[in-house]
């Protein structure tokens, strides 16, 4: 992304690095550094460029350390936004797995290293299975904490919630400990389960934010797809609680 800044002390364009995602197997191999150095060389050859920017979550200290090693530093700005959490946002015209079909089976470890299958998770009742892009990001943190705070209501409705994302067990453990999460986070580093539930990101990058309600019989009862609308997922879970899903 390119923006133009006009002020009393500098005028020119800024090049933004946006939505950086490195596949787990390629992390800590210099992928981001190579990307940044290539972009930096191009920017240095263009006299209209004032600088290079990116945004990073305040809590993502590991990413910040990487960016500082590349020469980036805090620009002194805070990102302000309006969160339109009301409506569901369609994602590139794609849909999720249809209602009534059998949910794909899986076997994944949680943040404590315990393995879970779909069958085992359904043993005590219906399951809310939600997929999210990454630990520690603002949206994913907000979503996880909203489900944490609904824990007692979920128990009363005989529902359980489980999250799935590509981060590894260690990342999930740190994320759960930091925010006191009281439900399993399953590690799917090769995105096999993400793909089985039709939630792989565009061109294979990232993960779409989707939530499924799966009945005790293993069939999909309902779903919601809303990549940017965190509130839509909380509303979906609240509706499941109020409906008292019990199949």
210 found inside a domain: yes
Q: Provide the number of structural domains found in the chain.
A: 2
6 found inside a domain: yes
* Residue 74: C-alpha distances to residues 18, 40, 64, 70 (Å): 16, 17, 9, 13
* Residue 43: C-alpha distances to residues 34, 36, 40, 90, 206 (Å): 14, 10, 5, 35, 27
Is 145 in the same domain as 25?
Answer: no
236 found inside a domain: yes
Find the catalytic residue in 50, 70, 140, 145. 140
Is 48 in the same domain as 149?
Answer: no
* Residue 85: C-alpha distances to residues 48, 88, 149, 234 (Å): 38, 8, 18, 10
Q: Is 140 a catalytic residue?
A: yes
Tens-digit pLDDT profile for residues 131-145: 999 999 888 999 999
65 found inside a domain: yes
Q: What is the mean pLDDT of each run of 10 residues along the chain (247 residues)?
A: 73 80 78 90 87 83 87 83 52 74 98 97 95 90 94 92 96 96 97 96 86 96 84 88 67
Residue 116 belongs to domain spanning: 107-243
94 found inside a domain: no
Is 156 in the same domain as 43?
Answer: no
The pLDDT, as a whole number, for residue 151 is 92
Is 217 in the same domain as 133?
Answer: yes
92 found inside a domain: no
Is 122 in the same domain as 220?
Answer: yes
Kind and range of the H or E run holding 239: helix 230-243
Name beta bridge partners: 162: 129
């Amino acid at each position: 992304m390119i923006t133009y800044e006009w002020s009393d002390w500098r005028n020119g364009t800024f090049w933004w690095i946006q939505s950086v995602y490195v596949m787990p197997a390629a992390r800590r191999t210099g992928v981001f550094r190579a990307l940044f150095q290539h972009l930096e060389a191009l920017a240095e050859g263009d006299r209209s460029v004032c600088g290079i920017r990116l945004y990073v979550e305040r809590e993502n200290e590991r990413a910040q350390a990487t960016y500082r090693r590349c020469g980036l530093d805090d620009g002194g700005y805070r990102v302000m936004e309006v969160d339109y959490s009301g409506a569901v946002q369609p994602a590139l015209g794609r849909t999720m797995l249809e209602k009534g079909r059998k949910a794909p089976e899986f076997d994944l470890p949680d943040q404590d290293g315990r393995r879970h299958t779909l069958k085992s998770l359904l043993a005590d009742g219906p399951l809310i299975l939600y997929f999210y892009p990454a630990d520690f990001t603002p949206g994913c943190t907000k979503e996880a904490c909203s489900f944490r705070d609904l824990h007692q209501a979920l128990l009363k409705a005989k529902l359980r919630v489980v999250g799935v994302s590509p981060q590894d067990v260690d990342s999930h453990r740190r994320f759960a400990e930091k925010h006191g999460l009281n439900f399993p986070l399953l590690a799917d580093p090769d995105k096999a389960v993400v793909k089985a539930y039709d939630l792989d990101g565009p061109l294979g990058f990232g993960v779409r934010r989707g939530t499924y309600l799966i009945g005790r019989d293993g069939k999909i009862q309902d779903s919601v797809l809303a990549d940017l609308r965190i509130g839509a997922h909380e509303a979906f879970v609240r509706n499941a609680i109020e409906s008292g899903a019990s199949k």
